[in-house]
Amino acid sequence: MPEHEFPSDEPVLRFDRVGLNYGPDLDVLADVSMTLRPGSMTFLTGPSGAGKSTLLKLAYLALRPTTGRVSIFGVDTGALRRRDLAPLRRRVGVVFQEFRLLDHLSAYENVALPLRVMGRQEASYRKDVIDLLTWVGLGDRLDAKPATLSGGEKQRVAIARAVVAKPDLIIADEPTGNVDEEMGERLFRLFRELNRRLKTTVLIATHDMALVRRAKADVLRLADGMVVRVQAPPDSPEALA
């Protein structure tokens, strides 16, 4: 089976009774079970300190669970050596809350970096990178360094970098946390467009309940170390409080 194909009925991501702790009295996640369907868009909500960022790290294979099983693209990651995780990680695009752009590189160079790391020649991707930055509204900022970009511009560069290699799964950690409401709505539309146009599975951790209610997407709530799926968008803030 080609690298970027997997059975359409196979969950993109599955957690089976996953727990993670940093010691006997430091349980972060206790008993998390969830699945993400191919082409779905899902929000992960919950109070501060509930472990949302930890759950995302497990999802993009930066951490391994203490108990339970994490499967991605139909592969049980617990059975793999660390070096064997790399091909799976390349199929996941991550948007970090703190951007993680390289200050000495331009917007264009930051977005192109994953393709350079893959060994591709610039002639094969230059147009794609420019088109992508233009699509996120930064066609006139190709040469700008991160220090000269606003928070919203940095986040759009980070989103472009996460999707430039056309991943099967996009994971975003509080992508609207450092921008105003108008920019948050614009960023969400970018994720929605990626989800609809490319059929990319999207998982977004967020505190923005107004955005979640407008999105009409699946919602997972993390609290007390466990996840509960909210089947329909809530009618009131109390439904997700």
- Taking the C-alpha atoms of residue 179 and residue 156, their distance in angstroms, rounded to an integer, is 11
Residue with tokens 């803030």: 237
- Taking the C-alpha atoms of residue 37 and residue 35, their distance in angstroms, rounded to an integer, is 6
Token pair for residue 145? 């360094």
pLDDT of the chain along its 241 residues, tens only?
A: 334 444 456 899 999 999 998 776 667 898 999 999 999 999 999 888 889 999 999 999 999 999 999 999 999 998 898 889 989 999 999 999 889 999 999 999 999 999 999 999 999 999 999 999 998 889 999 999 999 999 889 999 999 999 999 899 999 998 887 777 887 888 888 888 888 887 899 999 998 887 888 777 889 999 888 898 875 444 444 444 4
Q: Exposed, middle or buried: residue 201 (CB in 10 Å: 0-12, 13-18, 19+)?
A: buried
